[in-house]
Structure 1
Amino acid sequence: MFTQEPLSCRQRFINTMEYKSVDRIPNHEVGVWGQTMDRWHEEGLNMYDLHWDWFTGEEYFNMDAREYINVNYGMIPPFETETLEKTDRYEIIRDENGVIRKALIEGTAWGTRASMDQFLSFPVKNINDFREIKKRYVANLGRRYPPQWQEIMLPRWRQREHVLVLGRNCSTLGFFWRAREWMGTENVCYAWYDQPALMHEMMEFIADFTIEVSHPILEKTDVDYVFINEDMSMKNGPLLSPDTYKTFIFPRMCRLVDYFKSHGVRYVCVDTDGNCEALIPLLMEAGVDAIWPMERAADMDPIKLRKKFGKDLRLWGGVDKRELAKTKENIDKHLASLYPLIEEGGFIPTVDHTVPPDISLENFRYYMKRKMDLLSGKF
């Protein structure tokens, strides 16, 4: 499994995904809460020694480099952000997606709120609302792509030794995610049954739009992977049944994945929190290669998932953040439990989401040190 020959970030990633020998497994992480940044600063960390964009890598913790092609898959123009009401404790705002939300001000740190917002209103309630909001999703706009990307970035992409990803995190939005963003979770869950024509039209549009926006990039370069962000599950299971997924999303997902893989995308990964196990067979049938982040509080155990679904499903994440808040012995024991997957391949361990503020700087440094031992086969 392990070789002494040093590999580039890109080759290390590909070899891990293909169950081939590596010098070590890639060192990836996601990020931290703003409140965690404050805690670590109080514990002695110089905030400005870090970049805090952990998806692209963080030299301070020896993370591997990844480059994300900053394609804008969102509304152009977005809604004008507006504060509708503000008190000492909360504010009610209309955000760039046209969602009206009530947000707690208390505890906010570095742009991160200490609690979920309360969602009050969404821009789409029926098919006419959706057809109106589609006007903000014109695909063929130069502003959707990085400035001068063909002249400056494209030559580097073609000669890269690092991992190249299509779209920033949470930009290449999937089917459930976009529908939820337009309608809200509860309304979407009813709409599969109450407004099926709307939902079919939405799902078809999402596939068409994503393909059309991606095409100018994929016409010029290949990429190593794309994340399709969904967040379509909660702790006890998906927010839609496999039958509902198969009726509304699956045909469009197949078309989208087929497009990506026939246009130079090596791997397709689905990002969903919660327990998505019931939907994994359909994701795999559609051609999905990997899932992330395998939230342990939702019983997404990577050892169990590998035994059930085999090597065709690559696994990213799976490190229980609750264990990192405990003792060093707990951290060692938890990482040791993942070693069989490290030896087997097709697994990149990361914290199963962003790092919360109950994890001390000392514990996180210890975790990163011991994780590097794990990634190198020296645990």
Structure 2
Amino acid sequence: MNSRERFHATMNFGTPDHVPYFEEGLREEVLAAWRDQGLTSDFDLARLFASDEREEIVLDVDPHPWPKRWPTTLAELKAFRRRLDPNDPSRLPENWQARLPAWKERDHMLMARLHHGFFLSMGVEDWRRFYEVMALTHDDPAFVREIMQIQGEFAAALTKRALQEVEIDAAIFGEPIGGNNGPLISPRMYAELVLPSYQPVLDVLRRRGVEVVILRTYANARVLMPVLLENSFDCLWACETNAEAMDYRSLRREFGRGLRLIGGIDLDVLRDGKEAIRREVEEKVPPLLREGGYIPLADGRVREDVPLENYLYYRQLLQEITRPAAV
């Protein structure tokens, strides 16, 4: 099987030759720290541990230009719409036309980031804007629904434009909405103010035959899972999580095969030594693999405080479990 076939077999609860492995790359500061621990320039992690190729397309869904002051009334939204032109050539990745032939012939996973979620769509970049948005959800929910709907329709038009030219294997919605104790807005508010604006994008994905719709979220979004599943999100990629609240074994017991899973290994244990790593991986990964619809990896990018020895042990252990024939 190639990486693309392996991904779809896994996500459809089939029988791949083995589950895919991918990560988001190692930061230069991590490699620099590891060089101080003995990593040599000729040490090739890619050769030591097999990985599956994964590529992402990122559609630019930001307002152009970024507002100096965000609209606060329905009347101001007319001018805001002009910042959201789906036909703007800069909305697609660089060298789009030149890259299309290779994408059509690929044998690796191709995912697309189509939306970056509620708070970023509302212009939250600092605490001041966060407080403004939270006040709006209470004082003027109709305005919040409208601005989110405008951006959802724009993202849908841009997604339609892109998917007319390339077939993707999965769509990614970013949703950095969680705190350690739960999401920063209630499930009711999320269902009323946010999810309707995603429907135009989800409709485009359904029409284009995209089967895997990933919600990439952070911290603790557990209480949002029922309304997300009711609205066509069928895959969770939880990052930097509250490990107890977002335990994938518990989520699978509650939601069954309706929820595909990516991640689930607590990144923090990679700092804690081999015994903690072994316990985390062996307790979580094998039962989820047996059920299917699961791609195991750490729930965040490795940071420089993870010792090289611990990382190598984690990768070796995971490979022994997921690819025993390769060991």
Q: TM-score, normalised by structure 1?
A: 0.77
Shift of 1:377: 5.5
**What is the aligned length?**
321
Shift of 1:354: 1.7
Partner residue in 1 for 2:22: 28
List aligned pairs for 1:68-147, cutoff 5 A: 68-78=56-66, 123-124=69-70, 126-127=72-73, 132-147=79-94
Distance 1:344 1:197 in 2: 42
Shift of 1:345: 1.0
Contact 2:4 2:109 in 1 (8 A): yes
Partner residue in 2 for 1:106: none
Contact 2:264 2:297 in 1 (8 A): yes
Partner residue in 2 for 1:113: none
Contact 2:145 2:197 in 1 (8 A): no
2:176 corresponds, among 231, 244, 251, to 231
1:311 corresponds, among 234, 254, 257, to 257
Shift of 1:147: 4.5
List aligned pairs for 1:204-219, cutoff 5 A: 204-219=149-164
Distance 2:10 2:215 in 1: 18
Distance 2:207 2:118 in 1: 20
Partner residue in 1 for 2:311: 364
Shift of 1:220: 2.3
Moved more, 9-18 or 326-335: 326-335
5+ residue gaps, structure 1, are 1-6, 52-57, 79-96, 99-122
Given the superposition, is the C-alpha separation of residues 177 and 143 from structure 1 closer, same or farther in structure 2, using an over 3 Å criterion?
Answer: closer
Given the superposition, is the C-alpha separation of residues 186 and 374 from structure 1 closer, same or farther in structure 2, using an over 3 Å criterion?
Answer: farther
Contact 1:258 1:287 in 2 (8 A): no
1:302 corresponds, among 234, 238, 248, to 248
Distance 2:324 2:277 in 1: 16
Contact 2:159 2:204 in 1 (8 A): no
Q: TM-score, normalised by structure 2?
A: 0.88
Provide the aligned C-alpha RMSD in A. 2.6
Moved more, 308-317 or 214-223: 214-223
The one-letter code of the counterpart of 2:266 is D
Partner residue in 1 for 2:4: 10
SS of 2:301's equivalent?
Answer: coil
Q: Does 1:282 align with 2:276?
A: no
Q: Does 1:329 align with 2:275?
A: yes
Shift of 1:125: 6.2
Distance 1:300 1:47 in 2: 37
Given the superposition, is the C-alpha separation of residues 210 and 47 from structure 1 closer, same or farther in structure 2, using an over 3 Å criterion?
Answer: farther
Distance 1:22 1:291 in 2: 20
Given the superposition, is the C-alpha separation of residues 133 and 8 from structure 1 closer, same or farther in structure 2, using an over 3 Å criterion?
Answer: same
Contact 2:214 2:236 in 1 (8 A): yes
List aligned pairs for 1:145-294, cutoff 5 A: 145-150=92-97, 152-167=98-113, 172-181=115-124, 184-293=129-238
Given the superposition, is the C-alpha separation of residues 250 and 73 from structure 1 closer, same or farther in structure 2, using an over 3 Å criterion?
Answer: closer
Shift of 1:47: 6.8
SS of 2:115's equivalent?
Answer: coil
Q: Does 1:351 align with 2:298?
A: yes
Contact 1:177 1:229 in 2 (8 A): no
1:375 corresponds, among 314, 322, 325, to 322
Contact 1:174 1:206 in 2 (8 A): no
Distance 2:41 2:305 in 1: 18
1:44 corresponds, among 28, 38, 54, to 38
Residues 143-165 of structure 1, C-alpha deviations (whole Å, 9 max, x = no match): 22235533x32232222211111
Given the superposition, is the C-alpha separation of residues 352 and 180 from structure 1 closer, same or farther in structure 2, using an over 3 Å criterion?
Answer: farther
Distance 2:263 2:167 in 1: 25
Contact 1:70 1:146 in 2 (8 A): yes
SS of 2:60's equivalent?
Answer: coil
Q: Does 1:342 align with 2:285?
A: no
Partner residue in 1 for 2:53: 65
Shift of 1:303: 0.4
Contact 1:314 1:347 in 2 (8 A): yes
SS of 2:169's equivalent?
Answer: strand
The one-letter code of the counterpart of 2:228 is L
Sequence identity percentage = 30
Shift of 1:65: 0.6
Distance 1:352 1:282 in 2: 22
Name the structure with the higher helix share: 2
Distance 2:181 2:89 in 1: 42
The one-letter code of the counterpart of 2:225 is I
Partner residue in 2 for 1:120: none
The one-letter code of the counterpart of 2:136 is A
